[in-house]
Amino acid sequence: MRMILAAVLTMTASVAMADEIDDAHRQAISGRDSYWNCLAQEYPRAGNKSMSDQDFTLHIASVCSSERQNFRASLVDYLTMQFPNVDAGEHMTTANNAIALAQKDIVTAFVRRRGSAK
């Protein structure tokens, strides 16, 4: 009887942990989407058309700070749960790289649009 109870408790704990990881994953995806949507709203603003590529890059790096931080935190939380044996610094690096790639994609689109308009 004790073995059955122990097995049931272990399975329940495994299911609960899987649910927590799924919730953390959903939060990370939601954080990513919020950040991307915020960046996408900055892209077409009229004042940006007169910016140089470098100024637009600096602008994008400075906007959406709360969405950026939420994305970073939720992604680090998810990675920590999914890969608990990996150093926390590596999770932070992964999150920062994801943010940098999002910014790079928006800047690349801006540069291409400016290039095709000339």
Task: Give the model confidence (pLDDT) of 53-84 as tens digits.
Answer: 999 999 999 999 999 999 999 999 999 999 99
Which of 2-11, 33-42, 43-52 reaches the highest mean pLDDT?
A: 33-42
Query: Residue 14 falls within a domain, yes or no?
Result: no
Query: Residue 6 falls within a domain, yes or no?
Result: no
Query: Residue 56 falls within a domain, yes or no?
Result: yes
Local confidence band at 5 (pLDDT 50, 70, 90 cut-offs): very low
Query: Residue 11 falls within a domain, yes or no?
Result: no
Query: Residue 10 falls within a domain, yes or no?
Result: no
| Mean pLDDT of the 102-114 span | 91
Which structural domain, as residue segments, surrounds residue 100?
A: 22-117
**What pTM was computed for the model?**
0.81
Long-range contacts of 22-30 (CB under 8 A, 24+ apart): 24/74, 24/77, 24/78, 24/81, 24/82, 25/78, 25/82, 27/74, 27/77, 27/78, 28/71, 28/74, 28/75, 28/77, 28/78, 30/74
Query: Residue 90 falls within a domain, yes or no?
Result: yes
Number of folded domains that form the chain: 1
